[in-house]
């Protein structure tokens, strides 16, 4: 092969490579634009927020694969050979990325079964927070102190989860303590009045107070009331303050831990 043939070959393939590179760069930008438009349309159609990131990510990956196949065709690579190589590569990558495939399967199960959705407050895999996104491979949580937790979907789908916000109403449990010398009925009536007087506490189901336990230093009461889910924490903190004030007004003692010591004198 003489120099002219080498130069002609380089020019021929160089033009093809340059064209493929231009198509790759433009195609990548077009795909980003299309997926952005797709995400905007999903939001306008009020598609489930939990499903939106999953659909957008899946569409983007599919378009990118189609772009790579198109570029291979431009370079003159036979499709049968390319697909065979792609299949072998996919198998190898699949074996290497078993964890990622498990996360993909876990994300699919989460979106199908809907144990939680974007905006729910959940506790799972040792973490608690508000669900920010459900992606193809990961679930993103924002903790109450504004930390971002990234959980693999395989871990979440195989772990027990507590969804605190899935139901409209929720029960508040508080465990006030009073001394053994205080009148038990007065304590119960004081607690019930606090609940009945609070405007955000439900009358149906009604508030309840029980003597729950005999503690080492005090009687422990189980104080239960129901409210709307979004009012849970404001009511919880307000009720605790009201209990402290009411007990002080009624002279009900909140005892400190104490021990009785008996000295035995040897004679």
Residue 260 is predicted with a pLDDT of 67
The rounded distance, in Å, linking the Cα atoms of 149 and 45 is: 29
* Domain stops at, among 38, 69, 96: 96
Q: How many domains does the chain have?
A: 3
Range of the domain at 241: 169-250
Contacts of 238 (CB under 8 A, 6+ apart): 198
* Domain stops at, among 125, 146, 163: 163
Residue 93 is predicted with a pLDDT of 55
Task: Please give the C-alpha separations between residue 225 and each of 128, 132, 191, 200, 243, in angstroms, as whole numbers.
Answer: 24, 30, 11, 10, 14
Q: Are 42 and 54 in contact (CB under 8 A)?
A: no
Task: Please give the C-alpha separations between residue 167 and each of 31, 81, 109, 120, 220, in angstroms, as whole numbers.
Answer: 39, 55, 21, 10, 29
Mean pLDDT of the chain: 84
Q: Are 78 and 69 in contact (CB under 8 A)?
A: no
Whether residue 147 sits in one domain with residue 114: yes
DSSP state of 157: H
Residue 140 is predicted with a pLDDT of 94
Q: Are 120 and 165 in contact (CB under 8 A)?
A: yes
Residue 223 is predicted with a pLDDT of 98
Residue 103 is predicted with a pLDDT of 83
Residue 102 is assigned to a structural domain of this protein: no
Q: Are 118 and 131 in contact (CB under 8 A)?
A: yes
CATH number assigned to the domain comprising residue 64: 1.10.287.1260
Whether residue 124 sits in one domain with residue 53: no
Give the pLDDT confidence of 2-21 residue by residue, as tens digits.
Answer: 556 556 655 666 667 777 78
Sign of the Cα torsion 43, 45, 51, 56 reads negative
Q: Are 176 and 224 in contact (CB under 8 A)?
A: no
Please identify which residue in the block is written with the tokens 């409209």. 168
Give the pLDDT confidence of 166-210 residue by residue, as tens digits.
Answer: 999 999 999 999 999 999 999 999 999 999 999 999 999 999 999
* Percentage of the chain lying above the pLDDT 70 cut: 81
DSSP state of 95: H
CATH number assigned to the domain comprising residue 147: 2.30.30.60
Residue 222 is predicted with a pLDDT of 97
Identify which has the larger pLDDT, 144 or 44: 144
Whether residue 189 sits in one domain with residue 155: no
Query: pLDDT band at residue 62, thresholds of 50, 70 and 90?
Result: confident
Whether residue 92 sits in one domain with residue 17: yes
Residue 99 is predicted with a pLDDT of 66
Which tokens is 216 given? 């080492």
CATH number assigned to the domain comprising residue 223: 3.30.70.100
Whether residue 31 sits in one domain with residue 91: yes
The span from the first CA to the last CA of the chain, in angstroms, equals 120
Give the pLDDT confidence of 47-60 residue by residue, as tens digits.
Answer: 667 667 777 777 88
Residue 258 is assigned to a structural domain of this protein: no
Whether residue 75 sits in one domain with residue 34: yes
Give the pLDDT confidence of 130-145 residue by residue, as tens digits.
Answer: 999 888 888 999 999 9
* Percentage of the chain lying above the pLDDT 90 cut: 46
């Amino acid at each position: 092969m003489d120099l002219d043939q080498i130069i002609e070959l380089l020019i021929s393939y160089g033009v093809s490579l340059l064209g493929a590179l231009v198509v790759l760069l433009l195609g990548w930008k077009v795909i980003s634009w299309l997926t952005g438009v797709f995400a905007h349309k999903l939001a306008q159609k009020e598609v489930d927020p939990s499903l939106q990131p999953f659909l957008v990510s899946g569409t983007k990956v599919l378009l990118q694969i189609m772009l790579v196949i198109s570029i291979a065709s431009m370079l003159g690579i036979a499709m049968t050979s390319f697909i065979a190589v792609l299949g072998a590569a996919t198998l190898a990558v699949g074996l290497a990325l078993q964890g990622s495939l498990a996360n993909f399967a876990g994300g699919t199960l989460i979106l199908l079964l809907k144990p939680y959705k974007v905006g729910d407050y959940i506790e799972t895999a040792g973490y608690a927070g508000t669900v920010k996104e459900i992606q193809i491979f990961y679930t993103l949580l924002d903790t109450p102190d504004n930390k971002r937790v990234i959980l693999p979907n395989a871990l979440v789908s195989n772990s027990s989860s507590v969804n605190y916000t899935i139901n409209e109403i929720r029960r508040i449990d508080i465990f006030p303590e009073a001394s053994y010398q205080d009148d038990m009925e007065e304590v119960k009536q004081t607690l019930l009045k606090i609940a009945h007087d609070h405007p955000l506490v439900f009358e149906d189901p009604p508030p309840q107070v029980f003597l729950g336990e005999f503690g080492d230093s005090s009687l422990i009461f189980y104080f239960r009331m129901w409210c709307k889910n979004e009012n849970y924490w404001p009511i919880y903190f307000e009720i605790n303050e009201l209990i402290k004030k009411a007990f002080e007004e009624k002279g009900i003692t909140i005892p400190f831990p104490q021990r009785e010591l008996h000295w035995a004198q040897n004679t």
